[in-house]
Amino acid sequence: MSEITIPTNTSTFSVALVGNPNVGKTTIFNRLTGLRQKVGNYPGVTVDKRRGAMQAGHNNVTIIDLPGTYSIYPNTEDEIIVHRVLNGLDEENQPDFVLAIVDMSSMERGLFLVSQVMDLGLPMAIVLNMEDTAENQGIVIKTHQLYKALGVPIIQSNARSDKSLKSIEELITNKSFAKPQPFLNPEDLLPDSLANTVNKEFNLANAYQAFQLIRFHESEVLLKKYQKDFIREKIAEANFDLKEAQVRETKLRYKAIQDILKQCTEYKDIKTKKLTQQLDKIFLHKVGGYVVFLGVLLLIFQAIFAWSTIPMDLIDGFFASFSGWVYETMPAGVLTDLIAEGIIPGIGGVLIFIPQIALLFGFLAILEDSGYMSRVVFLMDRLMRPFGLNGKSMVPLISSVACAIPGIMAARNIGNWKDRITTIMVAPLMSCSARLPVYVILIALAVPDENVGPFNLQAIALLGMYLLGIVAVLLVSIVFKLILKSKEKSFLMLEMPLYRLPKAKDVAITMFTKSRTFVLAAGKIILAISVVLWVLASYGPSSRMEAAIASIEVPEANADQEVIDDYNSQISSVELENSYIGIAGKFIEPVIRPLGYDWKIGIALITSFAAREVFVSTIATLYSVGADVEDELTIREKMDQEVNPQTGEKVYNIATSFSLIVFYAFAMQCMSTLAVVYRETNGWKWPIIQTAYMTAMAYVSAWAVYQLLS
Amino acid sequence: MTADQITKGAFAFIEDLIPSELTLHLMEMGFLPGKRIELLHQAPLQGPMAFKLENSVIALRHSEAMLIQVQMDH
């Protein structure tokens, strides 16, 4: 059979990056692929498979950035992904080569993972990264000795320097990967006969793959029941002790690695005063540490609320005038209305969040890259325990102030199932940036713009909403702590890396990619809803619509302007009432009446179930503020003037406004979040529970607030 | 004695790991018999403890440190 020849300029291969957390893997990935990255469908941090494209000579190379792990034992979600990809269980993402990144200042742990990858038998190469840190610590690695011991290509690098990057690029371009010899003798791990039987049945490449499959077959969802039964049977036949085998493997591996490192490492005298130790004396101080953390949080909030107003006002102003320009320039008609009232404000409603989202993700990237985030985990773990949360819950919860989606995805790092589920369940209660426009507009209606001492009442109310979110998180966590049962033991175990200065380019790339994914994902929903809403609000069952319009008395031809204006506004009012969306709002009115809402607010609630920020644009469309839809002052004035036709009282009185604020604080109104929870928990159970409890909580609290205040 | 009893700034050698479901995790992080550890920081209210283990600093909860049998190094 003749070989199929593929033209060199189109042939592609894929390289998976593996390594421990904090070894500079993402920096290498970013620098190899630049902005040619694909990051999942949702805004957020590391998604299952971060992929990027790289041009290497004539080849288009796909780089797969796997999550950082210490081993390929599948304990946390991240490790499961690494385990699957490297074991070939994930057929779509089988890499051709593996590039293992090792922190030179932490060789033993790095080589643990590397030696496991070697045993899997994939062609690989090793990058010894963080040359500079190792140098500072007086560690010298004899690369050639190590190469002789391991038998795969090794390069030393400092991923932040251009020279090192070039050598990594060259390594990939020349495909300087080698198929390694097994690091451990497979016979030490499991009986040959067992390995052979399983290899044959599952078509595996070597004994270590068989070992992995046997060890973890029970939790492997990709296996069919009869396959699991087969493995179970063979284990019993061979009288093979799984747990013991894994402990033995770990001990053997460390022993072998320590022997190698003795040959290849030299320690030089180093300066005792290290910057990290000095900084930790402050950052981890029993009192000072918490003061610093509070200061960091205040700085972030200051940035989100104060600094971002300038670009936000610019975006706001731009879209308002753009809408106006479209009105004036385009011929009057349905299409112009759709564009100027539906689409442009819809897009503006998304883009206005960019400054806040970008700033927040920028801060999070700085905290993460600098190594400070793990100090936060250290400080907060004890305080989170009574609530059934984990120090590692801090990252998801803080991220959720920007958006619950990256927050929920960040919960992957929590190894314990119960702590992780609790964190996922409560993360959407943190006040996310999408609630901000809703709060701003409702607080302006309910709270007077007055000062008490140096403090503005409205600002205090807004701060209060953030605190309310935090209190809700803690209380609901306690409930989940009491309800959820788990056999697993909660554990922390966390490495505190050396502090380093985050690289501006990495932070910028994070800010850009996160904002872009937010705009594309959230934007699609908001845009679609804006358009659908506009259509549903403009059309209704024609017989019903005509009858309603006919019932209004037509003014005489010579009537003055005031009468005609009044007639027009009556017409648009009944048109809305008899539109499809109006009928839907009327339908749910009896349910929301006890909360103090009318059918128009009902419409806003319905549309907000897709995304809560839609509230403002819905209200804007409903009260047809026209070209100024994104001008919150105008909307607020309209809302303030809205009266109940039966009672003649203001619709947005204090009781209704506060009731709405509380409803929006607790209700699950974000389809993207539900989609992520579905994906992260592998099923509909948890998203349904989340929607149910949050909606119930919102309804009851809003009802209580309304009854108390009215 | 176990590692949770180490005082701040003191050194100890790891003797053995008390078998538990966390044994493998601890070994993965490098807590192995024969290694020398130092307690660098202790969070308030019996919170996590930060140990220096060779070139890295690793935080453990009290309950996890209790699983490491140590001998003080004076």
Say if residues A424 and A411 touch (Cβ distance below 8 Å): yes
What pLDDT, on a 0 to 100 scale, did the predictor assign at position A682? 79
Could you report the per-residue pLDDT of A145-181, keeping only the tens digit for each? 899 999 999 998 886 677 788 888 999 998 889 999 9
pLDDT > 90? residue A423: yes
Residue of A274 and A467 predicted with greater confidence:
A467
Contact flag A492-B47 (C-beta cutoff 8 Å)? no
Q: Which residues of B touch A (CB under 8 A)?
A: 20-30, 32, 40-41, 43-48, 50, 54-61, 64
Predicted confidence at residue A192, as pLDDT, reads: 86
Are A180 and A205 a contacting pair, CB within 8 Å? Answer: no
Mean pLDDT of A678-691: 89
A30-56 core/surface letters (b: 16 or more CB in 10 A; e: else): bbbbeeebebbebbbbbbbbbbbebeb
Question: What is the reported pLDDT for A595?
Answer: 92
Q: Any CB–CB contact under 8 A between A70 and chain B?
A: yes
Mean pLDDT of A7-21: 75
Question: A280 and B27 in contact by Cβ < 8 A?
Answer: no
Q: What is the pLDDT of residue A48?
A: 53
Map out the domains of chain A as residue ranges: 12-173, 187-250, 272-539+579-710
Q: Which residues pair with A154 in a beta bridge?
A: A126
pLDDT (mean) for A680-700: 92
Residue A453 has a CB neighbour count (10 Å cut-off) of: 5
pLDDT at A251 over 90: no
- State the best of A244, A492, A498, A499 to mutate against chain B, taking most chain B CBs within 10 Å: A492
The predicted structure's pLDDT at residue A634: 59
Does the beta carbon of A439 lie under 8 angstroms from any beta carbon of chain B?
Answer: no
DSSP classification of residue A343: I
Angstrom CA distances, A364 to A199, A304, A390, stand at 45, 12, 19
Chain A: nearest CA to B30, how far in angstroms? 7
Give B26's contacts in chain A (Cβ within 8 Å): 493
Question: Which residue's structure tokens are 């503006």?
Answer: A348
CB contact under 8 Å between B22 and A250, yes or no, is: no
Q: Which of A56-65, A85-94, A186-195, A252-261 shows the lowest per-residue confidence on average (mean pLDDT)?
A: A85-94
**C-beta atoms of B32 and A391 within 8 A:** no
In this prediction, residues A494-503 reach a mean pLDDT of 85
- What's residue A624's pLDDT? 54
User: How many CA within 13 A on the CB side of residue A355?
Assistant: 18
Residue that wins the pLDDT comparison between A471 and A91? A471
Chain A's closest residue to B57, CA to CA, is A496
Strands A124-129 and A154-156: parallel
3-state secondary structure at position A556: coil
pLDDT classification of A39: cutoffs 50, 70, 90: low
Whether residue A604 lies within 8 A of chain B, CB to CB, comes out as no
CB–CB of A45/A517 below 8 Å?
no
State the Cα–Cα distance between residues B41 and A279, nearest whole angstrom: 12
User: CA-to-CA distance for A78 and A620, rounded, in angstroms?
Assistant: 43
CB A102 within 8 A of CB A139: no
CA distance A127 to chain B (A): 19
**pLDDT for residue B70 is more than 90:** yes
- Window 490-549 of A: residues touching B by CB (8 A cutoff) are 491-497
For the residues B31-56, what does the mean pLDDT come to? 89
Least confident of A373-382, A430-439, B42-51: A430-439
Residue with tokens 């490297």: A86
Q: Judge contact between A114 and A143, C-beta under 8 A.
A: no
* Residue A470, Cβ density class (10 Å: 0-12 exposed, 13-18 middle, ≥19 buried): middle
Is residue A3 predicted with pLDDT exceeding 80?
no
The band of A695, judged by pLDDT with boundaries at 50, 70 and 90, is very high
pTM reported for the whole predicted model: 0.71
Average pLDDT over residues A434-441: 84
**Percent with pLDDT over 90 in chain A:** 21
Considering only CA atoms, which of B54, B59, B26 is closest in space to residue B42?
B59
Average pLDDT over residues A647-673: 88
Angle at which helices A417-426 and A685-709 cross, to 10°: 40
Q: What is the ipTM of this complex?
A: 0.95
Lowest mean pLDDT among A277-281, A337-341, A460-464: A337-341
Q: Shortest CA distance to A443 belongs to which of A460, A458, A456?
A: A458
Q: Which residue of B has its CA nearest to A488?
A: B21
Structure tokens of A247?
């402990």
**Among A280, A366, A281, A350, residue whose Cα is nearest residue A312:** A350
Report the pLDDT value the prediction gives residue A5, as an integer from 0 to 100.
Answer: 42
- What are the distances in angstroms from CA A302 to CA A103, A306, A360? 36, 5, 11
Confidence (pLDDT) at A327: 80
In the predicted model, what is the mean pLDDT of residues A590-600?
Answer: 91
B66 CA: distance to closest CA in chain A (Å): 12
> Which residue from A348, A329, A328, A333 is spatially nearest to A629, judged by alpha carbons?
A348
A419 CB within 8 Å of a chain B CB: no
Those residues with Cβ within 8 angstroms of residue A629's Cβ, 6 or more apart along the chain or in another chain:
A320, A323, A341, A345, A617, A620, A621, A635
Tell if the CB–CB gap between A381 and B58 is shorter than 8 Å: no
Task: Identify the closest residue of chain A to B19 by CA–CA distance.
Answer: A247
Look at the domain B3-73 and name its fold. SH3 type barrels. (2.30.30)
At residue B2, the pLDDT reads: 93
Name which residue leads in pLDDT, A682 or A621. Answer: A682
Average pLDDT over residues B48-65: 90
| Residue A431 buriedness (CB in 10 A; 0-12 / 13-18 / 19+) | buried
Strands (DSSP E) contained in A371-501 are: 451-452, 455-456, 494-496
Q: What is the pLDDT of residue A457?
A: 85
Which chain B residues touch A254 with a CB distance below 8 Å? Answer: 27, 32
Q: Are A110 and A126 in contact (CB under 8 A)?
A: no
Report d(CA B22, CA B67) in Å as an integer.
8
Residues B24/A108, Cβ–Cβ less than 8 Å: no
Given an 8 Å threshold on Cβ–Cβ distance, is B45 in contact with A382?
A: yes
Query: Helix/strand/coil (H, E, C) string of A269-332?
Result: CCCCCCHHHHHHHHHCCCCHHHHHHHHHHHHHHHHHHHHCHHHHHHHHHHHHHHHHHHHHHCCC
Interaxial angle between packed helices A504-538 and A614-622, expressed in degrees from 0 to 180 and rounded to the nearest 10:
30
Q: Higher-confidence residue: A242 or A91?
A: A242
Q: How confident is the model at residue A650 (pLDDT cuts 50, 70, 90)?
A: confident
- Chain A residues with beta carbon closer than 8 angstroms to that of B31: none
Instruction: Tokens for A337, please give them.
Output: 């209305």
- The mean pLDDT value of chain A amounts to 82
* Average pLDDT rounded to a whole number, residues A578-595: 90
Q: Which A-chain residues 268-297 have CB contacts (< 8 A) with chain B?
A: 276-277, 280, 284, 286
Q: What is the pLDDT of residues A299-325, one digit of tens each?
A: 887 777 678 778 888 888 888 888 888
Distance CA A566, CA A568 (A): 5
* pLDDT over 60 at B37, yes or no: yes
* pLDDT the model gives residue A635: 66
pLDDT at A42 over 50: no
Q: Does domain A12-173 have CATH number 3.30.70.1400?
A: no
When CB atoms are compared, the residue of B22, B57, B61 closest to A496 is B57
- The angle formed by the CA atoms of residues A87, A131 and A492, to the nearest 5 degrees, is 55
Q: How many CB pairs under 8 A join A and B?
A: 101
CA angle, residues B2, B8, B10, in degrees to nearest 5? 70
Q: State what percent of residues in chain A have pLDDT above 70.
A: 90
* pLDDT tens-place string over residues A240-250: 888 888 888 88
Q: What is the CA radius of gyration of chain B?
A: 11
Residues A616, A635 contacting (CB under 8 angstroms): yes
Question: Could you say which residues from 40 to 69 on chain A have a Cβ atom under 8 Å away from some Cβ of chain B?
Answer: none
Tell me the two tokens of residue A493: 């175990």
Cα R_g (chain A), whole angstroms = 30
CA distance from start to end of chain B: 14
Q: Which two tokens stand for residue A506?
A: 């990495």
What is the 3-class SS of A379-415, one letter each residue?
HHHHHHHHHCCCHHHHHHHHHCCCCHHHHHHHHHHCC
